[in-house]
Amino acid sequence: MAERCYLDWNATTPLRVEAVEALQEALAVIGNPSSVHAEGRAARRLIERAREQVAELVAARPADVFFTSGGTEANMVALTPAIETAAEKRPRQRLLMSAIEHSSVRAGGRFARAAIEDVPVDAAGCIDLAALTEAVAKTPRPLVSLMLANNETGVIQPVAAAAEVAHAAGGLIHVDAVQAAGRVPCALGALGADLMTLSAHKIGGPKGVGALVRGSEDIHIADPLIRGGGQERGMRAGTENVAGIAAFGAAAAAAHSRFAAEAARLQALRDTLEQGLKAISPGLVVFGDAAARVPNTTLFALEGVKAETAVIAFDLEGVAVSSGAACSSGKVQPSHVLAAMGVSPALQRGGVRVSLGWTTTAADVERCLGAWRKLASALSKGQRGIAA
């Protein structure tokens, strides 16, 4: 069988070599990090080293990093009325979020449905800051949740400006940086983020581990999601996933040291891919290309081509891509992101997402283009079996 070509890095990434090494080393450490003996202290050292590495990726203090079971859990922990600051302990009444957040944010954490308000995005896929300002004006001390990069389009959100808007109203801002970390700068201070979500498996670490990072020691979550032992300083009970956390740290360090070089290379490959796709199919639409995007992501559609049809056609050619939208039992639902951008219902089901990563080469892009050329030519020959 010909080698596969993996172009679905926004779904998950392969483990980085450094993460594999850290994982193997940590698996050999038998201690419980809460134990005081030498074995326990060895496990503790691995966790604290990883805490420093993750903190460095987002220019935070290690003490402000809390490990979780992934991005979903970190979002769930962050989105609570019970976020206190040193100065203010009253619960927050409302959660404002962009209409294009990941489902783990859209679920609203511990806020009641009625307390959640969507803020629209423009046609380029960027939050409407005027609408956010208006919503904030009606909502004293809101919690705002805004992702740094969208998982479908890759569009980068104006987080620093949104943070200013939230802070001016006594609010706080949570930033889901799962798709941005390792791809664009994510310094918490520069973004004005009060809380930030990270996930290991999008940056070359293992699945099932992530972190919630605070912008300052002033921020306190008064109702941790998982209570029990005092692990993670009371923020997340349960014996730590030592090996997963150690590998997350190693992946964060590798991502941090290489992302500038990787970004330029990936953007060039992504641009070549988009130009090639448009040359093959002049009617093809690339979503979000009027805005700044993370360098590795493209989401496109061609009228008449269903996303699931395209994804299967790519897969048969050995190329792994995904539909931008949620997919349940193989059936692609209309994308809430494309709907929020005002894309026509026909195209909302057609988004095909190709996402690249550090092992992606020009040959992979060529192969992807070859698969699309084959599909497009079958379509133009009227082979309805693969057309919508």
**Binding footprint of ligand PLP on the chain (CB under 6 A):** 70-72, 102, 104, 147, 151, 176, 178-179, 199, 201, 210
Residue 198 C-beta: closest distance to ligand PLP, Å: 9
Closest residue to bound ligand PLP by CB: 71
Residue 231 C-beta: closest distance to ligand PLP, Å: 19
Quick count: other Cβ atoms within 10 Å of Cβ 377?
A: 11
Alpha helices in 79-141 (DSSP H): 103-106, 129-137
How far lies 360's CA from each of 59, 116, 117, 264, 287, in Å?
A: 28, 39, 39, 13, 22
**Rounded distance between C-alpha atoms, residue 349 and residue 44, angstroms:** 47
Q: Which of 216, 183, 176, 203 is nearest to 64 (CA)?
A: 216
List, edge to edge, every strand of the sheet that includes 143-145.
65-68, 210-214, 195-199, 172-176, 143-145, 95-98, 116-119
Of the two residues 105 and 132, which places its CB atom closer to ligand PLP in the complex? 105
Of the two residues 166 and 175, which places its CB atom closer to ligand PLP in the complex? 175
Residue 206 C-beta: closest distance to ligand PLP, Å: 10
Tokens coding 272: 């070549």
Of 5, 126, 186, 327, which one is the catalytic site residue?
Answer: 327
Of the two residues 53 and 197, which places its CB atom closer to ligand PLP in the complex? 197
Is 5 designated active site? no
Of the two residues 5 and 79, which places its CB atom closer to ligand PLP in the complex? 79
Q: Which of 293, 324, 317, 312 is nearest to 388 (CA)?
A: 312
Residue 388 C-beta: closest distance to ligand PLP, Å: 26
**Rounded distance between C-alpha atoms, residue 106 and residue 79, angstroms:** 10
Q: CB–CB of 196/212 below 8 Å?
A: yes
Tokens 């080393």 correspond to what residue? 25
Residue 276 C-beta: closest distance to ligand PLP, Å: 26
Of the two residues 69 and 281, which places its CB atom closer to ligand PLP in the complex? 69
| CA 308 to chain CA mean position, Å | 22
Active site residues: 327
